[in-house]
Chains A and B, each alone.
Chain A
Amino acid sequence: MAFQMAMENDNVKADAFEASEFPDMAMRFSVMAVPKTVINDKTSVEGAVPEAAMVEQLKQAVGG
């Protein structure tokens, strides 16, 4: 879903990390379970959430 969001808006970029191959990155963002989506390195969403909920989180993260 994150990839599709990046396609829809040029302001959005999306990285997927295979958590076990990037333990430093996973540790930096306190990844305990997957999927976990970190937004702008500050807020995060745990688990697979519906599109609408994810967009809402994005908007909150940018103060919209």
Chain B
Amino acid sequence: MIFNEDQRREIDELLSGNMNQPVKVVYFTQDQPSLELPVQVEVTPCEYCTETEEMLKELAGLSGKLELEVYDYIKDKDKVEQYGIEGVPALALVGEKDYGIRYYGIPSGYEFSALLDGLINVSKGETKLTDDTRRALAEIKEPVHLRVFVTPT
């Protein structure tokens, strides 16, 4: 159990009170290296993959509007390519469409709140950005790839 009883209730209230449309959380993990792997295959162990998956499964269990899909970073190459995944653990938040939102790492601490916010925004299909910001963003016609580096504390 990742979340205690109070946390489960809080999450449930927050999500059920704010989510509108279903959101798909597409999670990429990696089997831990085993001795059966040929030695020439270099696989970096994924320190937080198991814990992240456990957290997401609990989270998905708290809301009927959250659907969790789990893929393997090594084996599910087509999905890795489809979602443009660059490492694990990784998750994509997909609502009415794939907005291009990815989170790499275990979303703990402050980042967990950011994840819940993201789920709610994607579920509603709307953001809290100001009208000015929206107008300015709408003028951008070229591809923009943002990588935001964060820490969980």
A residues in contact (CB < 8 Å) with B: 1-22, 25-26, 29, 31, 34-41, 51-52, 55-56, 58-59, 61-64
Q: Which of B1-9, B58-66, B120-128 contacts A (4 or more CB under 8 A)?
A: B120-128
- Residue B17, interface by CB 8 Å: no
Name, among B130, B134, B136, B138, the residue most crowded by chain A CB atoms within 10 Å (CB to CB).
Answer: B136
A16 interface neighbour in B47, B129, B143, B150, Cβ under 8 Å: B150
**Cα of A14 to Cα of B127 in the assembled complex, Å:** 14
Interface size class of B (residues with CB under 8 A): 35 or more
Name, among B121, B122, B125, B129, the residue most crowded by chain A CB atoms within 10 Å (CB to CB).
Answer: B129
- Residue B145, interface by CB 8 Å: yes
Task: Kindly list chain B residues whose C-beta atoms are within 8 Å of the C-beta of A2.
Answer: 146, 148
CB pair B137–A22 under 8 Å, yes or no, is no
Q: Which residue of B lies closest to A56 (CB)?
A: B136
Task: Kindly list chain A residues whose C-beta atoms are within 8 Å of the C-beta of B121.
Answer: 3-4, 7
Name, among B87, B129, B133, B149, the residue most crowded by chain A CB atoms within 10 Å (CB to CB).
Answer: B149
Given contacts A14-B102, A25-B87, contact A7 B127 (CB under 8 A): yes
Task: Kindly list chain B residues whose C-beta atoms are within 8 Å of the C-beta of A59.
Answer: 136, 139-140
- Residue B38, interface by CB 8 Å: no
**Cα of A59 to Cα of B126 in the assembled complex, Å:** 22
Given contacts A7-B101, A21-B47, A55-B137, contact A14 B146 (CB under 8 A): yes
Task: Kindly list chain B residues whose C-beta atoms are within 8 Å of the C-beta of A64.
Answer: 139-140, 142
